[in-house]
Amino acid sequence: MKPIGIIANPWSGKDIRRLVTSGSVVSNNEKANMIRRILQGLDSTGVNETVIMRDSSGIGARAMDHLDLSMEVNYLDHPMTDNQDDSTLAARIMDEKGVACIIVLGGDGTNRVVAKGAGQTPLLSVSTGTNNAFCEMLEGTLVGMAAGVLASGAVDREAVCKQMPSLEVWKGDYLLDIALVDLVISSANYIGSRAIWEEDALEEVFLTRAEPGHIGFSSLGGHLRPLRPDEPRGMHIIVGEGDDDQRVMAPIAPGLVRWVSIKQYRLIEAGAFVKITPRQLSVALDGEREHVLTQRDTISVTYNPQGPFVVNPTQALEIASESGFFIKRPAGPTSKVFVDNEPTPVWFKK
């Protein structure tokens, strides 16, 4: 049985958008409680080992407080920088260790930096961030059980894991960075508090998915032309006043619904490079500003359909259930089942 990795971002769910919008705060205590339930779910499926990323807030240690488990729980021994590089490095170590999957607690930004180090190891993403188009709100117990059936081999990886697309930003011939959901070109040429929500600074938006049912820039594209993540194309939106004065309403952050003027938009095919006009700008990836560029920098963006692998936990549990993974049959010649809610038991020979 393969081990399982867990990465919890202590900073997710706490950025400046809690002050300027109505976003909720996910405390580190709650993250520790979620990991606690995940570990219990893993333990129930017979997982032998789980490895947890160390962090300065001690989330993993809190989760283990007075928790009695059969499996072995270890913490990665790696240098901590107390920034997003910790998650990338932890994912790389877990990938090299051969974990069945990496359970990620965070938002789209956290999953982005984990994906940079995870290689071919699939992610099982649990939402504890702000803009969450890539990850979902999931109950920790079920997350642990889903990861456990994958680690046990009770379900095939190919049956429950899917490769998701990404956006790549290139600086000349050098891959500068990636995004999993949205890449925004902003006129605000500084990093600052990282989080981006000001619609006035938007200039261009690239999307791997455009879904009306999500918060963030994905909804902006979704209200123009819905684009599912399994559709092998991305979207490029140019923001600004156009000839037809088209505006789109979008919830770009929790509680922050804005009208955004759209000059034009188009779908982009895999492998096609879109050049960005050199100018003073910043590049935001999955909701956070990461790079400041100048007029001397030549950059382009491309849609890559071969991004990180992702576990579908519901599908994993369904397949395991169908195979009888969760059934313990007593020794004996017969089994008792009920058919069509009949009050009288029907007996079948084994």
**CATH code assigned at 209:** 2.60.200
Do residue 247 and residue 269 come from a single domain?
Answer: yes
**Contact yes or no for 207/229 (Cβ under 8 A):** no
Q: Residue 195's pLDDT is what?
A: 75
Confidence check: pLDDT of 12 > 70: no
- 3 state DSSP class of 96: helix
Q: Residue 332's pLDDT is what?
A: 62
Confidence check: pLDDT of 339 > 70: no
Nearest to 114 by CA among 307, 292, 248: 307
Q: Average model confidence (pLDDT) for the chain? A: 87
Do residue 275 and residue 258 come from a single domain?
Answer: yes
Rounded to whole angstroms, how far apart are CA atoms 248 and 260?
A: 5
pLDDT tens sequence across 69-118:
999 999 998 888 778 899 999 999 999 999 999 999 998 999 999 999 99
Is 131 a member of any domain?
yes
Positive or negative, the Cα torsion across 311, 314, 320, 325? positive
**Contact yes or no for 54/62 (Cβ under 8 A):** no
Predicted confidence band of residue 64 (pLDDT cuts 50, 70, 90): very high
Average pLDDT of span 301-322: 96
Total number of domains constituting the chain: 2
CA of residue 341 relative to chain centroid, distance: 41
> For residues 113 and 215, which has the higher predicted lDDT (pLDDT)?
113
Do residue 142 and residue 190 come from a single domain?
Answer: no
Structure tokens at 91: 């994912």
- Domain extent for 292: 166-304
Q: Residue 19's pLDDT is what?
A: 43
**Contact yes or no for 80/54 (Cβ under 8 A):** yes
Rounded to whole angstroms, how far apart are CA atoms 88 and 340?
A: 51
CATH of the domain at 145: 3.40.50
Do residue 201 and residue 221 come from a single domain?
Answer: yes
pLDDT tens sequence across 274-296:
999 988 999 999 988 999 998 99
Do residue 132 and residue 246 come from a single domain?
Answer: no
Structure tokens at 59: 């989330």
Average pLDDT of span 211-233: 88
Do residue 139 and residue 177 come from a single domain?
Answer: no
Q: Residue 84's pLDDT is what?
A: 86
Do residue 283 and residue 299 come from a single domain?
Answer: yes
Write the DSSP symbol of residue 154.
S
**Contact yes or no for 261/199 (Cβ under 8 A):** no
Structure tokens at 131: 């803009």
Q: What percentage of the chain has pLDDT greater than the value 70? A: 88
Do residue 12 and residue 56 come from a single domain?
Answer: yes
Do residue 41 and residue 173 come from a single domain?
Answer: no
Average pLDDT of span 129-134: 68
Confidence check: pLDDT of 43 > 60: yes
**Contact yes or no for 240/203 (Cβ under 8 A):** yes
Average pLDDT of span 312-338: 83
Is 70 a member of any domain?
yes
Is 122 a member of any domain?
yes
Is 339 a member of any domain?
no
Is 341 a member of any domain?
no
Parallel, antiparallel, or unpaired: how do β-strands 102-106 and 4-8 relate?
parallel
Rounded to whole angstroms, how far apart are CA atoms 158 and 311?
A: 10
Q: Locate tokens 């400046």: which residue?
A: 16
Average pLDDT of span 245-249: 89
Q: How many residues comprise the chain?
A: 350
> For residues 228 and 168, which has the higher predicted lDDT (pLDDT)?
168
Predicted confidence band of residue 130 (pLDDT cuts 50, 70, 90): low
Predicted confidence band of residue 156 (pLDDT cuts 50, 70, 90): very high
Q: Residue 338's pLDDT is what?
A: 57
The whole-model pTM stands at 0.88
Predicted confidence band of residue 14 (pLDDT cuts 50, 70, 90): very low
